[in-house]
Amino acid sequence: MKLYRKTLLLMGWMVALQMVASEPADAVIAHIRSEYNKAHATMKENARHSPDRSDMVTTLHYMVPGCGPTTETLQFFFRMKQYGEEQFVDYQLYFVTRKYNVAARKYYEEYLFDDETGMLVFVAKQDYDDNLKRVEKRLYYRDGELYKATGGTLGKYEDELAYMLGQDYRQAFNNLIRNAKE
């Protein structure tokens, strides 16, 4: 009987230790989800107050050989921050959406950037698996590295490509917003 209790006690401690060890992962994901929800609330508010909107839309039309015409729409959401008495304004990107098609398939992606560092922290992708079934993949990043991926099998280098695209969109935004002012 004592061995049974000791075994149960040991198993309980192991479960407790496993839960404690997994808490940081849950805290990171919870923080990113909270920021994601805030971003969506801000975008919804922007849509209601169209004169105060802080977004920029770019639409591209091009031909993909073997697939036909493609339309790609990028929407950049940003905050304007004022500094000092000179009223210096900085534009801080916090969210990007990308909608596009390849032949008859439609794709949608979202990119969330950290408010303080400007680094990409989250990507959501509506994609297709090998059986052409629609799947949603979620990629969580921490300090520029993939932290966790959910929602399907990632292709080779898919997380790195998603991160590089996010960085490219941030750079494109900076180039477009700076040139638009001048």
- Residue-by-residue DSSP string for 141-172: EETTEEEEEESSPPPTTHHHHHHHHHHHHHHH
- The amino acid that residue 11 corresponds to is M
Prediction pTM value: 0.79
Beta strands in 13-87 (DSSP E): 55-64, 68-83
The pLDDT of residue 22 is: 45
- Considering Cα of 165, then 182, then 76, then 139, what sign does the dihedral take? positive
Tell me the β-bridge partners of 127: 135
* pLDDT range class, residue 17, cuts 50, 70, 90: very low
Amino acid at position 145, single letter: E
pLDDT(168) > 60:
yes
